[in-house]
Amino acid sequence: MFPHEGDTFAEPLKVFQLCFAEPINNKDLDKGGDFDFTVIPPNSPRLGMRIVFQPDGQGVTVYPGVVEAPPEGEWTFEWRVTDAVTLEPLEGVTRYNVREGGDPILQPTPAPCVSGSTPSLTTPPTIDEEPDDDGPDVLLLALLTTGAAGAAAVIALIGYVVRNRVGFWLHRPPERKNGDGESHH
């Protein structure tokens, strides 16, 4: 989890991350899901946020809204999710401080959580952690391949239908004229 209870930062956090040992319920997110996240600055209203669940349910990243004049003092991050299998609620509260002289924040987008991590083991990423963008985008390649195969199938189907309608056959026997060949009565 990032942040940890009692951490002190020089400015408000721009990202929170929770990693779980077992997958959490990330079904029906488009219908509201069964989760709750809250970021509460000291003496201020709650912040809006963007929430991103990992597809495998191993983690969630929360991006709170921006505070124009961030107040110093104790901030609170509250969370509640449900277990993917039992749907039992999992919840927690982390309090951290924002004040002059606190730790600087060096956070790009955190790395995805991996299976086997626990809710409190994720450390804050540093600016040195660059994503590995050297390899091909496998999802994009898979989608392009699937699209090309689908397009080829559609073209083949259209060709087959047109060929049957027009009656174009390469090895069609020639039509017989009256009086040629056998007659069947």
Instruction: Summarize pLDDT for 101-136 with one digit per residue, the tens.
Output: 877 776 556 777 876 544 433 333 333 334 445 556
Same domain, 111 and 146: no
Same domain, 161 and 126: no
- The string of pLDDT tens digits covering residues 151-164 is 888 888 887 777 77
Are 123 and 110 a contacting pair, CB within 8 Å?
no
**Residue 83 has what DSSP assignment?**
B
Q: Comparing 138 with 35, which gets the higher pLDDT? A: 35
> Which pair of structure tokens corresponds to residue 36?
């709750």
Give the dihedral of Cα atoms 50, 31, 33, 107; nearest 10 deg. Answer: -20
- Rg of the chain over Cα atoms, rounded to whole angstroms, equals 30
| CATH number of the domain that residue 72 is part of | 2.60.40.1220
Same domain, 66 and 109: yes
Same domain, 153 and 116: no
Residue 144 domain boundaries: 136-174
Are 75 and 67 a contacting pair, CB within 8 Å?
no
Same domain, 158 and 111: no
pTM, entire model:
0.56
For residue 182, is it within any domain?
no
User: What is the domain count for the chain?
Assistant: 2
